[in-house]
Amino acid sequence: MTEPTEDLVRASAEKALGETVVAANFVALNSNHLYRLETASGARYSLRVPRLRPTALSPFWQYMQDTFGLRYGSQLLSVDPILRAIDEDGLLEAPCPIAATTVGDRPAYIFTWVEGTSWEPDEFPDSGEVHERLGEYVARLHLRTHDKYGTLTEQAFDPVEFVARTNANLRHTISRFWTHRPDIGAWFERHATAMDPDVFTGHLAPIMPDISGNQFVYRDGTPAGVVDLDSYVVGPRELELAVVETCLTRPEDFRRGYESVLPLPRFEEFRAYCRFWMLVCEGGGDPDVDEFLTCRTYFA
């Protein structure tokens, strides 16, 4: 999708908000075209226009649909459960939904604006306070356990299905995008198909499978808000922990924050499998499989 014009964004926002929008500034391009709105009364909002068509998803979003049942393009209508959890924990702010609208022929969603400094790298800022707060935030969400997994609003899948559903998606993604790398297909058949599904059956909770430093904003040297709610689902906490490990610069501070709430699990049981999923669904270029699976291995 090409970037919507500022005039089109402003007109759509004014119709949804019922007031004059004096500025509609493009902020970032990620899973959405993200705009910062300001109204004549001085109120500030974010407007998000999904980039992808539901019929042409990226490998990551196809995985989220195949494995968790998450519907790209409409998932932002169903974030109330994670907003309630974040509000109850009181550690971070989160954008609250205000209105749904359209920009051209695309759905669009207006949220409150969370003030803070954005951060571009996947790695979190090199700050002990950032990492300790992050660890506590993640762990407090992991306290909210579920018997089944799926979206925030509908947990339809038995935990023993997780590996089988993930493997079915991985096999399809490898056949579409990785035929030039037979070693990746070989790793899948040798290791992923032998993964013990019981590793992921014990602790289902709200998770962000693409968690990284740029999903948050920061104030006064600490995380102030989580601003990307698109990919929250209920799933195995091990998946989120394996991803966040690759983004840490102060792992012991993260551990301190996390273990003030919950003990960390043993990473060696799930790390390689989850890292392989990252490579297949989010990786690009010509990665070295062994290096990808073993870099930044901070936890036992």
3-state helix, strand, coil in the chain (%, to 5): 45, 20, 35
The whole-angstrom separation of Cα 130 and Cα 20 is: 37
Half-sphere exposure in the Cβ direction for 214 (13 Å, CA): 9
Q: Which CATH superfamily is domain 128-294 in?
A: Aminoglycoside phosphotransferase (APH), C-terminal lobe (3.90.1200.10)
Token pair of 288, please?
Answer: 């070295």
Residues of the chain with CATH 3.30.200.20: 6-57+73-112
CB of 10 closer than 8 Å to CB of 21 = yes
Residue whose pair of structure tokens reads 């590996």 in the numeric block: 163
Reduced 3-state DSSP string for 132-148: HHHHHHHHHHHCCCECC
Residue by residue, pLDDT tens for the chain (300 residues) are 577 888 999 999 999 999 999 999 999 888 899 999 999 999 999 999 999 988 899 999 999 999 999 999 888 999 999 999 999 999 999 999 999 999 998 999 999 999 999 999 999 999 999 999 999 999 999 999 999 999 999 999 999 999 999 999 999 999 999 999 999 999 999 999 999 999 999 899 999 999 999 999 999 999 999 999 999 999 999 999 999 999 999 999 999 999 999 999 999 999 999 999 999 998 788 999 999 999 999 999
Segment holding 191, helix H or strand E = none
Q: How far apart are CA 34 and CA 10, in angstroms?
A: 13
**Sign (positive/negative) of CA torsion 16, 22, 28, 29?**
positive
Q: Nearest Cα to 230, choosing from 113, 94, 27?
A: 94
User: At the top level of CATH, which class does the domain 6-57+73-112 belong to?
Assistant: alpha beta
